[in-house]
Structure 1
Amino acid sequence: MQYQSSLSRVSMVKGYIFASISILVWTGFILISRAGALASLSLADMMIVRFGTAFCVFFPFIWMQRKTIFQWRMMLLGVIGGLAYSLSVFNGFQSAPATHAALLLPGLMPIMIAILAYFLAGERHSEFAWAGIGVSSLGIIILLFETLLSSASYWIGDISFVFACLFWGIFTVLLRRWKFAPWHATLGVITATTVLFVPYYLTQLSHAFEGVPREMIALQAFYQAIMAIAVQFVCYGKAVHILGATKMGALMAMVPLLASTLAIPLFGEQVTTGLVVALICICLGTIIGNVLPIKRPIL
């Protein structure tokens, strides 16, 4: 019994290590994606840099796992977690500031994942989890209302981030329900998105990478293809399998604290009341949903 308890603790530690790596990579993804948009990388260019590079790098593994990849469930995961999510998120980066991405993407994900996990995967959530989600939701709602009521032109970007969260939530729950290995799911996302998007991109070649420095293209190719896809997807998938979709979704709410803190000095973005309130609510929601339920050992 004690041996099983020890194995369980070790497994949970591994889960939180994978989650921590995923959180750090997501933080970098938000900052580097916004930097690419500011450097005039178009939506189509961002997509091809991310998935075209990844497809070329991982093609030998895709070919070896082709029987696992080319099945309808894997392809559906790829369309949802790759094509639909990435189109939405990169469209958001074209107009919305990185601070909004830092709050909306990981802030909304726990809400989407918890609701979808409840209905699609039969997961049951504690009162602490629902309370944390409620507090985080309050901050997100305040930020969205501030954007809609202001004269800012980036509300379309915010709405795109909302849709991105919905697609990622569906992907997360289906990944856990269908129990695909994280590595196979990663290859499936790369394959499905590349196969579907490349035909469209071929019609845009005359405008490809106009005015974008080569250094920025190289940075985007490395981070988007290697870090944000291979490293992040595998770590995220392993964390989901160990910790559960809802727990992982809640932990992702730590990203706003890191990404928004860095985005303000890096990009000179404005600090608004809604931004501050949303950040506080998301951090409090994370504490309520993840820290308070932990049972302390009796000494």
Structure 2
Amino acid sequence: MMTSRTQGYIYVAITMCIWGGFTITARLNAIWHISAWDIAVLRFSLAFCILMPILIYKKDLNFLFKKEPFVLAMIGGVAYCLTSYSAFHYVPAAHAAIFLNGCIPLCTALAAYFIFKQAFDKHTWLSLSIMLSAISVMSLLMYEETGVAFGFGDLLFLISAIWWGIFTVLLKQWKLSAWHSMAGVAIWSAIVYVPIYLLFLPKHLDQASMPHLVMQTIFHGVFVVIVATLTYVEAIKRLGAFQAGSVVTLAPFIAAIVAVPLLGEPLSFAIICGLIGMGVGALQPWRWFGRKDSLQLALDQKNQLKNK
């Protein structure tokens, strides 16, 4: 019989495959002429069609009428998806590992500071120093190589990291279950975004082939939205938030390397420096055997004071 720790690493492996696949398939959207507007509506629509009947059957709809699922959906659903999917149309997959996944821990710490006044601990300061140094060196090398240090796609990835950082902090504070978090984000994203897409946004579905649309819809609507969310939460339960999160963070960096032969994307010395620096800063290997992160400790203390 498998131990809880072994189960945790199995869930981590599944999550890594899906998150790594997100980087590759999101980049393929640009190659297959599937716009960010289109993939977002396909993703939200399929997830809605799967989850809404389940919630109706379980008579579990009341949580949808609270503000928390709606706010999380607008930030971690609609806003995050549109900016991150759009970014892949401008820059290679390796840039996502650096400016999106690499910056998420930093943006999460900044969100905790501005929303809950949670000061940076020494680990965050060290991580921040490593990341800023890596971005500075990479930008300098890229400017020397191409004449451009920071592109529009990189800016979109950075904005996406900010959205996800805010989403993560709010998710920790509000303590919704994995099921309610995932279902609420998917359903409210569809309710808000699909009508806007149908009425106002440009549509390019006729420019992509049907097999490509079907593959992307199933992968992003089922595996990314539903499966990865549930496996990630199960991994956290068994391994802890920091260890599970650190291992899973490796997935986009691995995907960036895989994209070189698979998609024929360039991997310059500047990008290699950025990947290494941001990877170390995001993973924080010196904290591998540490306990809870400072934000979680602060939130726990805050909740304890409320209960007294």
Q: TM-score range by the shorter chain?
A: 0.7 to 0.9
User: Does 2:228 align with 1:232?
Assistant: yes
**Partners of 2:142 and 2:169 in 1: CA distance:** 29
User: Does 2:55 align with 1:59?
Assistant: no
Provide closer, same or farther for how the CA distance between residues 269 and 79 of structure 1 changes in structure 2, counting only shifts above 3 A: same
> Pick from 168, 173, 176: which aligns with 1:172?
168
> Pick from 261, 282, 293: which aligns with 2:278?
282
Query: Residue in 1 aligned with 2:83?
Result: 88
Provide closer, same or farther for how the CA distance between residues 13 and 290 of structure 1 changes in structure 2, counting only shifts above 3 A: farther
User: Does 2:8 align with 1:21?
Assistant: no
**Partners of 1:196 and 1:245 in 2: CA distance:** 31
**Partners of 1:109 and 1:160 in 2: CA distance:** 13
Query: Residue in 2 aligned with 1:46?
Result: 39
User: Does 2:102 align with 1:107?
Assistant: yes
Provide closer, same or farther for how the CA distance between residues 121 and 19 of structure 1 changes in structure 2, counting only shifts above 3 A: farther
Please say which of residues 78-87 and 123-132 is displaced more in the overlay. Answer: 123-132
Query: Residue in 1 aligned with 2:69?
Result: 74
Retained in 1: the 8 A contact 2:139–2:150?
A: no
**Partners of 1:125 and 1:244 in 2: CA distance:** 21
Instruction: Please state how far the C-alpha of 1:245 moved relative to its aligned partner.
Output: 5.9
Please say which of residues 55-64 and 211-220 is displaced more in the overlay. Answer: 55-64
Please say which of residues 56-65 and 122-131 is displaced more in the overlay. Answer: 122-131
Retained in 1: the 8 A contact 2:45–2:190?
A: yes
Superposed CA deviations along residues 227-263 of structure 1, whole A, max 9, x for unmatched, are 1110112233445566666665544431243111111
Provide closer, same or farther for how the CA distance between residues 62 and 141 of structure 1 changes in structure 2, counting only shifts above 3 A: farther
**Partners of 1:179 and 1:118 in 2: CA distance:** 18
Superposed CA deviations along residues 185-243 of structure 1, whole A, max 9, x for unmatched, are 11111111111111122136884412211111111011101111101122334455666
Instruction: Please state how far the C-alpha of 1:287 moved relative to its aligned partner.
Output: 5.8
User: Does 2:153 align with 1:157?
Assistant: yes
* Identity of matched residues, %: 28
**Partners of 1:280 and 1:246 in 2: CA distance:** 19
> Pick from 205, 208, 211: which aligns with 1:212?
208
**Partners of 2:239 and 2:200 in 1: CA distance:** 42
- Give the aligned residue type for 2:152: I
Instruction: Please state how far the C-alpha of 1:102 moved relative to its aligned partner.
Output: 2.5
Query: Residue in 2 aligned with 1:36?
Result: 29
Instruction: Please state how far the C-alpha of 1:181 moved relative to its aligned partner.
Output: 0.5
User: Does 2:248 align with 1:255?
Assistant: no
Instruction: Please state how far the C-alpha of 1:101 moved relative to its aligned partner.
Output: 1.2
What runs of 5+ residues in structure 2 fail to find an aligned partner? 292-308
Retained in 2: the 8 A contact 1:131–1:289?
A: no
**Partners of 1:176 and 1:269 in 2: CA distance:** 36
Please say which of residues 176-185 and 228-237 is displaced more in the overlay. Answer: 228-237
Query: Residue in 2 aligned with 1:139?
Result: 134
**Partners of 1:205 and 1:120 in 2: CA distance:** 32
**Partners of 1:281 and 1:153 in 2: CA distance:** 16
**Partners of 1:153 and 1:214 in 2: CA distance:** 37
**Partners of 2:79 and 2:237 in 1: CA distance:** 23
Matched residue SS, 2:206 = coil
Instruction: Please state how far the C-alpha of 1:123 moved relative to its aligned partner.
Output: 6.6
Please say which of residues 115-124 and 26-35 is displaced more in the overlay. Answer: 115-124
Instruction: Please state how far the C-alpha of 1:40 moved relative to its aligned partner.
Output: 0.4
Instruction: Please state how far the C-alpha of 1:271 moved relative to its aligned partner.
Output: 1.5
Provide closer, same or farther for how the CA distance between residues 244 and 142 of structure 1 changes in structure 2, counting only shifts above 3 A: farther
Retained in 1: the 8 A contact 2:38–2:204?
A: yes
**Partners of 1:243 and 1:156 in 2: CA distance:** 37
Retained in 2: the 8 A contact 1:93–1:157?
A: yes
Instruction: Please state how far the C-alpha of 1:29 moved relative to its aligned partner.
Output: 0.3
Q: How many residues align?
A: 286
